[in-house]
Amino acid sequence: MASIDNLLVSLFVDEIVGGFIVTVPPGHVGCIYSIFRGVLKNVWYPGMHFKVPIIHRVKLFNAQLIEYTIAKDVYLKDNKEIMGDELIHAVTADNKFVAVEATVLIKLDTDRLPEIWQNIGENFVSKVVRPVTRSRIRKVLTNHSLVKSLSTDRSLIEDEIKQELRDSLTQHGLYVENFYLSSLTPIDAPFSMEEIPELPREAEDVKKERLISGLQPESSPNLNSSPNSSRSSMPQS
């Protein structure tokens, strides 16, 4: 019981005695949450600031250039919000599988931090950065063959992915400074054919498949019937 009392006293003292002053360290910015007004629009930059204890809560964000590393030694099980990702498997234009390792340099738009905190929250890595990065990398690689991706198209791929990431992440308050492709490693299919999700197919493809297999589309007329058969089945006037 004594340990619980000491914890409560410690929290009370930290909030009341030391809660009037907040020091924002270099390379960081602070966002303020008010229990009455929600996330405030003003941002605190490095230095000393005064706040109202209990009423205000301050969240510090890293305003420096951040490395988002995609590598085989990154494990998401330990921390979903780690600034990085495991190997990304992608498919090239000639249907070859590759494992992608890369580095993305990202910086938060400090002027829009209240908006980020309000609309996305603190988990912006798992909610925005990681899914967008995976999608844009895979999209660009589908336009390049494996041979060219490993040689002449490498710098072109970097530029295309960087632009795709900028277009997608800027609207969320995240600026992409640069993108570096560390390695592209050809691999066998990372999953068996049974595990590949079924892709959406065009209605025309489904009809052709049914015709080949001997099944008739429900909406199509009987191909074995003659043109006059439908007329003979109609009542005579």
* 147-178 residue pLDDT tens: 988 888 899 999 999 999 999 999 898 999 99
Distance separating alpha carbons of residues 59 and 77, to the nearest angstrom: 25
- Residue-wise pLDDT tens digits, 119-134: 888 788 899 999 999 9
Q: How many other C-beta atoms lie within 10 A of the C-beta of residue 43? A: 17
Q: Give pLDDT, residue 51.
A: 86
Domain ranges of the chain: 2-62, 66-187
* pLDDT in the model for residue 99: 94
Question: In whole angstroms, what is the distance from residue 30 CA to residue 237 CA?
Answer: 86
Strand partners, 183: 101
Mean pLDDT for 219-232 is 44
Tokens of 186: 């050809």
Structure pTM? 0.67
pLDDT surpasses 50 at 5: no
CATH no. of 66-187: 3.30.479.30
**CA dist., res. 139 & res. 135, Å (int):** 6
Q: For residue 55, is it left (φ>0), alpha (ψ between -120 and 50) or beta?
A: alpha
DSSP 129: I
